[in-house]
Structure 1
């Protein structure tokens, strides 16, 4: 038998069922490692989405998007040397959000500053005066002072004398 006519290589491995051109194995459901990792991620996302939907319909307890131990085991088994974040996505995937300054669009990474208005800024635009912050610091601080320092009234001394 010719290996091109049967779709099997000489080592008993067939081409990936997703059609990417690489060889898959029976351990990974006849998919290559890249397609199998993507398959696992989509399976976990679908599973957590269904759990969140069922929890939102029942309204019994708040949703818990954490991964189960079986999901962690599947990801660790097939992740290889890739690093995974808490949600189970590798750090090189396109699913993460970009950390850029809102004013100058400069990449800030870990050195970015999150303002009280909710946006991320670089070192140059981190101050409220530099990025025209809509957050009212004066009103916010006054509300804190009112809550923490209740109005103190003196006793009516005229009645005690």
Structure 2
């Protein structure tokens, strides 16, 4: 029974559960946490350090930071939480004075040109340039102004050029 003492191995009396009560076993090497909880704790610490350094750079107004911090931040896959920033503008500034184009404004829901039904991502684009729902996607259902007959003739003409044989001199 002297074998455990000779090798220096001492068996613990009972397995240690994770201190976060997740149900897994922890170890002294991971501060009595399971590997998953330990990784999450390390990640949170790295995020806190990065956020503190970023905040410090913003407050100090310096745009340059240590390259090591930037590289370590890129190497770590950080899930960021969007931060809501409130901007207080002067009451005299309106959308027309800011010079925003109508394209920059938020667009409403995408709708069928004929029935105004919401189509979202399932809309069908027609050759006439409009967007339609499943019922109005065919050209005869939405009175399409596109001339399919002439477009077909042009496609055939481009695909099949006219070949004329040279005239031969008769002997």
TM-score normalised by the chain length of structure 1 = 0.42
Larger Rg: 2
